[in-house]
Chain A
Amino acid sequence: MIIYGVALLSVCTLTGITIGQVLGKLIGIPANVGGVGIAMILLILAGSYLQKRGYLNLKTEQGIEFWSAIYIPVVVAMAAKQNVLGALTGGPMAITAGVSAVVLSFALVPVLDRMGADKQQAPDDAPATGHSTNNNNNHAQTSTGQ
């Protein structure tokens, strides 16, 4: 049933965000520590576990895939509620500070990519987007790399 997928997604989201919240409290900072990331990992692990056992049928998966597909519209809605006026009227200092942070970070993406690639070489030659057939290869390379 579709609701099983939605419920699985909900439980993973709530658990992850709660863990993030507790971590923040423990460290003493008023922010969620990686809640979304933890939730995502929970979903990946739970999903692959259930898939192996054959508990995930097409309908259940659709319950998750719907929300994954609704992601872009959600992001558009999120864009529509940003304080754009506040950003534009923040003055030249705020704009320059924001812009330079972004420009520097963009420039660092290829730098960091290359730094790591030197260490573990080969696997980056293949375009790495979800080819499960590569899995055995990757296994061998990660284990030799460490």
Chain B
Amino acid sequence: MYESMLEVSAKYSLVTGFAVIGATMWFSYWASGKFTNGRVHGSAIAIMLGLFMAYLGGVFSGGQKGVVDLPLLSGIGILGGTMLRDFAIVATGFGVNIEELKRAGSAGVMALVMGIVTSFVAGVGIAAAFGYTDAVSMTTIGAGAITYIVGPVTGAAIGASSEVMALSIAAGLVKSILVMIATPFVAPYIGLNNSRTAVIFGGLMGTSSGVAAGLAATDPKLVPYGCLTAAFYTALGCLLGPSLLYIVIRGIAG
């Protein structure tokens, strides 16, 4: 029985993914109405449930890809993979009002630069507080606080140890997961309810998965605005990390 299920779910992995995620969504929207009176979005609950399942997947399989490492659920990897994620994000752009985008443009660029510098400084400060005082380690961990891609890219470029690189990836993971969970709850306090703040938010946070999920759980209408700026964040981080930011830290730390 289990073997047959395994065979089917391996062959029809994407279809299995639709079924499992559909059931998760249904349960989440039901729980949202039943227990929170709709105050916590169904999508927010679904994302948290997804993260929780990912945690269990990691515990049971010892892998790094959440539930995807469980043989029955490998199809979720396709459904939630980069290809379909980007495809769906681009599709959300179809409803975008181009005038609003133009108006928020300059704020978005400023948010990108400030977001990278802020996250980097936070990462560097914490690294120093925990005793990593050499320029290479501080820069790598700071870059990890930008996103978990910028961390290892920067670390590899400036010759960080693999231990420090792992730490920088972990810092980036914490950031992206926290953005996914916290955004819908923080949104009312920071005015995240219009296209302009969404553009700013995307530029400040920058983690594409965090922004994508955080905005989806807050208000799906805001998704394209935030994702548009966030699309430039990691690249800008990869550009600045091993160059300007490293030089500055090296200048300070000696």
Residues of A bordering B, CB below 8 Å:
9-10, 12-13, 16-17, 20, 23-24, 27, 29-41, 43-45, 47-48, 61, 64-68, 70-102, 104-110, 112-113, 115-116, 120, 123-124, 127-132, 134-135, 138-139, 142
Contact = CB atoms under 8 A, between A and B. Distances in A.
A108 to B, nearest CB: 5
A41 B93 contact: yes
A30 B186 contact: no
Interface of B: 17-18, 21-22, 24-25, 43, 46-55, 57-59, 64-68, 73, 76-77, 79-81, 84-104, 106-107, 110-111, 114-115, 118-119, 122-123, 125-127, 129-130, 132, 141-142, 144-146, 149, 153, 166-180, 182, 186, 190-197, 200-201, 204-205, 208-209, 212-213, 216, 220-221, 223-224, 227-229, 231-232, 234-235, 238-239
B111 A74 contact: no
B220 A83 contact: no
Contacts of A81: 54, 65-68, 76-77, 80-81
A29 to B, nearest CB: 4
B167 A94 contact: yes
Given A80-B53, A83-B64, A84-B58, A30 B197 contact: no
A78 B54 CA distance: 9
A73 B79 contact: yes
Given A71-B223, A78-B80, A86-B173, A36 B17 contact: no
Nearest to B144: A97
A84 B51 contact: yes
A134 to B, nearest CB: 8
Contacts of B235: 20, 23-24, 27, 29, 31-34
Contact of A74 (B84, B144, B176): B84
29 contacts: A27-B235, A33-B232, A35-B231, A43-B94, A67-B91, A68-B94, A74-B79, A74-B84, A74-B88, A75-B47, A77-B76, A78-B209, A79-B180, A82-B51, A84-B54, A85-B54, A88-B55, A93-B126, A93-B167, A94-B141, A94-B171, A102-B182, A105-B115, A108-B114, A110-B190, A110-B191, A113-B107, A128-B97, A129-B195
A97 B209 contact: no
Contacts of A104: 118-119, 122
Contact of A47 (B94, B103, B204): B94
Contacts of A108: 111, 114-115, 118, 204
A48 to B, nearest CB: 7
